[in-house]
């Protein structure tokens, strides 16, 4: 690594490319047969540490997501990602329109895409790409997504009956996104630990560097598509069974008589859902954070016990540690949320990160993504 003397004559400076190369050496190694194509984008939003510090989890603008999940509501973390401070983004009172829904993961993503597209049609300033307009679009998009799931089983119920969100630091919040979602995704009034757990889930999943769906959002933003269209592009990517809906597959396996066998059948020739992550050598810290909440609130829940057995079986077979999809599946099951709750929470949470990445991409040169194909025919 080339060292350069700084202007003060004492400290050292290094080339950015050399630093990135050194950082890559600390990241988990991939097989030379791995077909993964890695795209590197400079971003000030989220960082995933390497080495032993990985146990502390990822950071949003330098702040640990795990700590944010304990002390702040999701709306504040949206503000942090968008604007760099914890000023909460307040959502609109209601979504303007609510599309019909069905029950499986694919239909959930279709429903979310539909409500985002309808929110775009109701926004005459959707082509305004200024920061202020993007913040308003974020509030409108999240309101449409959350509103599309409210009162779906009891249309006469009022959203004002949602419970208050109480965080571990003792602060309480009314009309929080987490409380509204917890109410929507449950057949009964959710317990306080469930509401707090939904908030923690939203915070932990809000962003995670340059995941596939995030890259899709940034590619769309590079063409200067409006923010709603960029979110729709990301949701289309999220609908794949290997990304945002994987927790549903894991949960179904955990609730079966033979979890390991069912999960293996579901995976087929792809990697095992709920296990392994290219950025982590050990257990995904997000999974550990969610599992810890279940251990504290429902230590004997069958899903948690099944997850322990499943993790032990996978460890004996391949040594691959759990990822966030396992933690999300266990939490959703223990909280007695609807089967599609994991996919819903993932999509709502990640929309915050997508919007922040879209805003960042709007400041970069347009049309900068041009991958090359190597002809093998």
CA atoms within 13 A on the CB side of 69: 28
Whether residue 99 contacts residue 197, with contact meaning beta carbons closer than 8 Å, is answered with: no
Q: What 3-state DSSP class applies to 184? A: helix
Q: What 3-state DSSP class applies to 248? A: helix
Which of 123, 226, 284, 325 is catalytic? The answer is 325
- From the list 329, 293, 348, 338, the residue with the least C-alpha distance to 109 is 348
As given in the structure block, the two tokens for residue 206 are 């809000």
Q: CA–CA separation, 276 vs 280, rounded Å?
A: 8
Q: CA–CA separation, 29 vs 281, rounded Å?
A: 9
Q: Is 284 a catalytic residue?
A: no
Q: Is 208 a catalytic residue?
A: no
Q: Taking the CB of residue 124, how many other CB atoms lie within 10 A of it?
A: 7
Q: Write the Ramachandran bin of 354: left for phi over 0, alpha for psi from -120 to 50, otherwise beta.
A: alpha
- From the list 313, 309, 180, 329, the residue with the least C-alpha distance to 250 is 329
Which of 173, 208, 277, 301 is catalytic? The answer is 277
Q: What 3-state DSSP class applies to 47? A: strand
Residues carrying an active site annotation: 277, 325
């Amino acid at each position: 690594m080339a060292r350069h003397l700084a202007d003060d004559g004492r400290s050292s400076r290094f080339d950015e490319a050399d630093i990135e190369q050194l950082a890559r050496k600390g990241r988990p190694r991939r097989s030379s047969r791995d077909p993964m194509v890695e795209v590197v984008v400079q971003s000030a939003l989220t960082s995933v540490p390497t080495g032993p510090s990985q146990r502390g989890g990822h950071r949003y603008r330098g702040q640990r997501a795990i700590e944010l999940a304990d002390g702040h509501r999701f709306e504040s973390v949206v503000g942090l990602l968008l604007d760099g401070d914890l000023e909460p983004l307040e959502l609109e009172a209601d979504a303007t329109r609510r599309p019909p829904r069905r029950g499986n993961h694919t239909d959930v993503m279709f429903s979310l895409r539909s409500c985002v597209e309808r929110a775009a049609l109701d926004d005459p300033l959707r082509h305004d790409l200024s920061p202020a307009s993007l913040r308003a679009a974020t509030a409108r998009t999240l309101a449409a997504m959350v509103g599309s799931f409210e009162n779906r089983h009891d249309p006469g119920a009022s959203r004002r009956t949602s419970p208050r969100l109480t965080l571990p630091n003792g602060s309480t919040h009314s009309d929080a996104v987490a409380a509204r979602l917890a109410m929507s995704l449950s057949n009964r009034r959710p317990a306080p630990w469930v509401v707090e757990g939904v908030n923690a889930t939203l915070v932990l999943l809000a962003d995670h560097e340059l995941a596939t769906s995030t890259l899709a959002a940034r590619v769309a933003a590079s063409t200067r598509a409006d923010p709603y269209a960029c979110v729709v592009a990301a949701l289309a990517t999220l609908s794949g069974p290997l990304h945002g809906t994987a927790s549903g597959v894991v949960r179904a396996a955990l609730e079966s008589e033979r979890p390991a066998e069912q999960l293996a059948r579901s995976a087929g020739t792809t990697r095992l859902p709920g296990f392994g992550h290219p950025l982590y050598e050990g257990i995904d810290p997000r999974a550990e954070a969610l599992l810890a909440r279940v251990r504290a609130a429902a230590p004997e829940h069958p899903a948690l016990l099944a997850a322990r057995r499943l993790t032990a079986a996978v460890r004996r077979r391949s040594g691959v540690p759990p990822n966030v999809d396992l933690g999300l599946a266990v939490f959703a099951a223990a909280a007695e949320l609807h089967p599609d709750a994991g996919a819903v929470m993932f999509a709502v949470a990640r929309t915050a990160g997508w919007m922040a990445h879209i805003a960042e991409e709007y400041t970069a040169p347009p049309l900068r993504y041009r991958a090359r194909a190597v002809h093998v025919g």
